[in-house]
Structure 1
Amino acid sequence: MLRPRKAPPHNRRQPDELVVVSGASTGIGAATARALAAMGYHVLAGVRTDSEADAVRTDGIEPVTLDITVPEHIEALARRIADDPGQRALRVLVNNAGIEINAPVEVLPLSLWREQFEVNLFGHIAVTQRLLPHLRRSRGRIVTISSVGGVAALPVFGAYAGTKFALEAASDSLRREVSAHGVQVVVVQPGGVRTEMAARSGDISLELAAGMSAEHQRLYSGLINATVSSNTAFLQRAMPAAKAGAKIARVATTRRPRTRYTLGTDAAFIIPLARLLPARLMDGILAMSHRSRNPARTPAPAPAPAPAPAPESPGSPS
């Protein structure tokens, strides 16, 4: 008696299919592009400059100019897919591009808030809207790279976490809207990953701190220093980008994906903790962590005024 043949697994080499990875010049995006190309997919790797294109171009990876905040770039990408010489289907869209600029809510200029939302949220929505018709035809998949910051908003990370919280919500709505069309939507929540963006974020925070007013220096310099110190120390033992990219490639191609995946032991620990613990308890844990990192510069909570000599001016550093 003949047995029915099993359908081929979704992650088998598919040389007749396309994958788009935004933010593919370095870090997680570049690693994901390489891993998917190694599986046999033809990867359209979003980059912003000619030098980035030269760096990522290899067998199975075709760089495309893609700043996801530029409508003309998105339209050109859609035309590239529609006019593919081999008429290959678009199998996966990996929404990975992002920026990270961290400073206290009071300090970060609104222009930098808007810039992060333009890239980390609206840019991904624009790409998704334009490519969804191709993904419907192929019954493909959208893999959106969020962050542990999409669930747990740490001090100084308000703007970045805000973009990721919003991206998580939009992904939930999208998944429920397009599942009946055969399109799958998956969110990946990385914790610490050793990338150029993560390494630069600390330097950017310190540069912004150096330009703060004297009053903001007094209020926030200890918190910023402690946060940067903690993140720098953690990144030394964080997951390599290549390992993160390989895991994302598997998520992008597995037959029956979950709706969410954490990436890294820190994300696997922090995300459930943030959901289970009362908010005040989480606040206290984070406050103790920052005081232990930089006790000399972290201001004590609401001290009683001293009766003796004249008080320092508000602009004096503590």
Structure 2
Amino acid sequence: MIRPGKAPRKNPRRGDELVVVSGASSGIGAATARALAAMGHHVLAGVRTDSEADAIRADGIEPVTLDITVPEHVEALARRIADDPERRVLRLLVNNAGIEINAPVEVLPLALWREQFEVNLFGHISVIQRLLPFLRRSRGRIVNISSVGGVAALPVFGAYAGTKFALEAASDSLRREVSAHGVQVVVVQPGGVRTEMAARSGAVSLELAAGMSPGHQRLYGSLIKATVASNAAFLEHALPAAKAGAKIARVATTPRPRARYTLGRDAAFIIPLARFLPARLMDGILAMSHRSRTPEPAPALESTGGRS
């Protein structure tokens, strides 16, 4: 069992408030949890293992077992909030948990499509449904971590982008449903951020590609390699997770938030292009970008037998 966190050092302004951050074991989630704790909040940081709990536990950060696709975990989190020994209110929910498994639409198995939607969309909806009564009582805030992929669907990112497009739509509906209740809903759209998930995604894509049929390798092998190479090159200069978390914490606590915030220069550049450029022109820009990264020639990928 994951042990309770230490009692927080109370900030006179925010020490009586709880916040929840899902997917807090590493990357953006861990950085956001630390930034919010430094502001004086008591953070219930969602993790899945004891080792992750030990890594994130700190003054003001209490790890809680939370796989957002497991109803019992979500219910236990709600009981923890309801039974808080200091009767602190839940002020903020940051829905950050996510997975990323990239492959062409034709190639990615339906089971992996469903897995990404379970985590990146349905899990968040489950948490929102269960915790919204607490946030209504406190007139609190929900921050949904989307992606540049929630506006611009890049090649090979169809399933991941699909989950983020759906989260964007659900966030719009939710914002319009609960604003009269005093609950605010904010979307943050990160671009490239240096995280473990981002670093792993390229290797996962190549492993999936290695298991493709020879026909699919001929059709998509070069595209996948070019996409992985492009992302790897970009991540070398991407926003560090600590800076991303600090920005999300500021957004989460600003008095009068906007409905959406971009995070990183690439998101600030790509999202307006995707919204306002004609689709065929955007397709051409992306095709040129990938051609510049395409290996010459692309040998057949060696089969490894599937996913790690």
Q: Give the TM-score category using the shorter length.
A: over 0.9
Which residue does 2:110 correspond to in 1? 110
Local SS of the residue matching 2:188: strand
Q: Which amino acid aligns with 1:47?
A: V
- Match status 1:73 vs 2:73: yes
User: Is the partner of 2:296 in helix, strand or coil?
Assistant: coil
Query: 2:276 & 2:141 partners in 1: Cα distance?
Result: 30
Matched, 1:53 2:41: no
Change (3 A) 1:75 1:134: same
Aligned to 2:180: 180
Asked if the contact 1:45–1:64 (Cα under 8 Å) also holds between the matched residues in 2, the reply is yes
Q: 1:262 to 1:12 in 2, by over 3 A?
A: farther
The residue type equivalent to 2:233 in the other structure is: A
Give, in angstroms, the shift of residue 12 of structure 1: 8.3
The aligned residue for residue 244 of structure 1 is: 244
Whole-angstrom CA distance in 2 between matches of 1:28 and 1:133: 26
* Pairs within 5 Å for 1:166-245: 166-245=166-245
Contact 2:225 2:295 in 1 (8 A): no
User: 1:223–1:297: 8 Å Cα contact kept in structure 2?
Assistant: no
Fraction of identical pairs, as percent: 87
SS of the residue corresponding to residue 58 of structure 2 reads coil
1:125 aligned partner: 125
Equivalent residues of 1:146, 1:187 under 8 A apart: yes
Q: Provide the secondary structure at the position in 2 that maps to 1:293.
A: coil
Task: Measure, in 1, the Cα distance between the counterparts of 2:35 and 2:297.
Answer: 44
Equivalent AA in structure 2 for residue 239 of structure 1: L
Q: Which runs of 4+ in 1 moved over 2 A?
A: 295-298
Task: Please give the per-residue CA displacement for 1:158-217, whole angstroms capped at 9, x wherever unaligned.
Answer: 000000000000000000000000000000000000000000000000000000000000
1:37 aligns with 2:37: yes
The corresponding residue for 1:263 is 263
Once residues 161 and 279 of structure 1 are traced to their aligned partners in structure 2, the CA distance between those partners, rounded to angstroms, is 16
TM-score by length of 2: 0.92
Report SS of the residue matched to 2:292.
Answer: helix
> In 1, distance between residues paired with 2:38 and 2:170?
31
In 1, the alpha carbon distance for the partners of 2:294 and 2:183 equals 47
> Aligned pairs, how many?
289
Residue equivalent to 1:145: 145
Q: 1:23 aligns to what? A: 23
Displacement of 1:294 after TM fit? 1.0
> Secondary structure of 1:69's match?
coil
1:287 match = 287
What is the alpha-carbon distance in structure 2 between the residues aligned to residue 121 and residue 171 of structure 1?
11
Residue 273 of structure 1 deviates from its aligned partner by: 0.4
One-letter amino acid of the counterpart of residue 54, structure 2: D
SS of equivalent residue, structure 1 residue 207: helix
Q: Which residue in the other structure is 2:83 paired with?
A: 83
Map of 2:161 onto structure 1 = 161
Q: Distance in 2 between matches of 1:257 and 1:86?
A: 28
Question: Which letter does structure 2 place at the counterpart of 1:162?
Answer: G
SS in 1 for 2:55: helix
CA distance in 2, matches of 1:269, 1:160: 20
Post-superposition Cα deviations, 1:106-130, rounded to whole Å, max 9, x if no partner, equal: 0000000000000000000000000
Tell me the CA shift for residue 295 of structure 1.
Answer: 5.2
In structure 2, the residue corresponding to 1:92 is in which secondary structure? strand
Contact 1:69 1:119 in 2 (8 A): yes
3-state SS in 2 of match to 1:63: strand
How far apart, CA to CA, are the structure 2 residues paired with 1:107 and 1:113?
10
Q: CA RMSD in A?
A: 1.3
2:100 aligns with 100
Preserved contact between residue 151 and residue 274 of structure 1 (Cα < 8 Å): yes
Letter in 2 for 1:173: S
Normalised by the size of structure 1, how large is the TM-score?
0.90
Note the C-alpha offset of 1:13: 3.9
5+ residue gaps, structure 1? 1-10, 299-318
